[in-house]
Amino acid sequence: MTRTPELVCPAGTPAGLRTAVDAGAHSVYCGYRDETNARNFPGLNFDRAEMREAAAYTHDHGAKILVALNTFMRAGAADIWKRGVDDAVAAGADALILADIALIDYARKTHPRQRLHLSVQAAAATPEAIVFYRDRFGIARVVLPRVLTVEEIARLTAQAAPCETEVFVFGGLCVMAEGRCMLSSYATGKSPNMTGVCSPPSHVSYREDDGVLAASVGGFTVERFEKGEPAGYPTLCKGRFTARGTASHLFEDPVSLNAVELLPRLAEIGVAAFKIEGRQRGRAYISTVVQAFRRAVDALGAGGRIDFGELRALTEGGRETVGAYKKAWR
């Protein structure tokens, strides 16, 4: 009998959090409005009072709240991150999602009973790496980097126990090993690891010549859209570049992750939680996606059949991939 996996859903704003909880999220993840979390965009995230209210709302509805403090502490400024840990614990966070080894060490020592998750930004991709964090710091769950195949995830999940594994199943896809990518830092000076942003809007510009819309990040053209072609957001690793004289989506096509077809197998191998990416997404999207995935995990838990058609339709119009979960992607 497969245990019902926990559905972990994004909450970019207080309103988005209530939407996700109402739509059936088992847990929501969110962060403070500063550089301590990896989605540090203007208009997103929670101040201290909002976080306390969010925790109360989540708990009142029988769900859990996971607070992400998953950037790397700036030298000389560790207090900003530590205060975040202390405040999240005080607010009633069910777990903290951390990446920096020193912040993990602080959280464990200062709050010995607090549940800690290892962020995908720590990129623990082997049983040895997971055991390192589990045995030294009592990490209860590790969010796996999107560089692994399903069979590698099975091996990891077995060896990580009693530490749980959580995998991304839907939403944006990092092509690079998470937490180990400085492309944005190289092009814009703003870095996922240090500032909590990737290809930030502040450094994106568009210009039109001859009916062609060119999108740039940090002054580097990463995509050109013909007239009438929908202009997507220019993310560095999903742009078109020229190598060996040929232009192509060298790193990855502008696709998003949709691992719906793998849900039964992931549940079978004991993955504890399925994660949906997208703290920057709107409430309507969150509501639709969360409801659909909740029905799917409920069906899984009850031994019933998943309505794959409904989940596939979520990315209709957009392009999707199962990414590294299948070996051929590599």
Partner 1 sequence: MSTSRMSLTLGPVLYNWPIARWIEFYNRIADEAPVDRVCLGEAICSKRQPFLDEVILGTVDRLERGGKEVVYSTLALPTTKREVRDIDAMIEAGYLIEANDITTVHLLAGRPHIVGPFVNVYNEEALALHVKLGATRVCLPPELPLASIGIMAAGNDAVEVFAFGRPPLALSARCYHARSHGVPKDACQFVCEQDSDGMDVFTLDGAPFLSVNGVQTQGFVVTSATREVAELREAGVASLRLSPQSCDMVRVATIFRHLLDGHMTQKEAAEALGVLALPGPLSDGFLRGLPGCTAELD
Q: What does the binding site for partner 1 look like in residue numbers (CB under 8 A)?
A: 72-78, 99-102, 105-106, 122, 124-129, 131-133, 147-148, 152, 155, 175-177, 179-183, 185-189, 191, 193-194, 214, 218, 220-224, 237, 240-244, 246-248, 250-252, 324, 327-330
Output 43 or 76, the one with its CB closest to partner 1. Answer: 76
Structural contact between residues 7 and 24, judged by C-beta atoms closer than 8 angstroms = yes
Output 55 or 236, the one with its CB closest to partner 1. Answer: 236
Output 227 or 316, the one with its CB closest to partner 1. Answer: 227
User: Nearest distance from residue 81's CB to partner 1, in Å?
Assistant: 9
Total Cβ atoms within 10 A of residue 270:
17
* CA atoms in the 13 A half-sphere facing the CB of 211: 4
User: Nearest distance from residue 150's CB to partner 1, in Å?
Assistant: 13
User: Nearest distance from residue 87's CB to partner 1, in Å?
Assistant: 19
User: Nearest distance from residue 25's CB to partner 1, in Å?
Assistant: 29
User: Nearest distance from residue 144's CB to partner 1, in Å?
Assistant: 11
Q: Which residues contact 172 (CB under 8 A, 6 or more apart)?
A: 256, 257, 277, 278
Largest CA distance in the chain: 62
Output 249 or 295, the one with its CB closest to partner 1. Answer: 249
User: Nearest distance from residue 286's CB to partner 1, in Å?
Assistant: 28
Return phi, psi of residue 174, to 5°.
-80, 135
Output 47 or 151, the one with its CB closest to partner 1. Answer: 151
Output 205 or 288, the one with its CB closest to partner 1. Answer: 205
CA nearest neighbour of 257 among 309, 314, 304, 212:
314
Which bin fits 132, alpha (ψ -120 to 50), beta or left (φ > 0)?
alpha
**Rounded Cα gap, residues 327 and 330, in angstroms:** 6
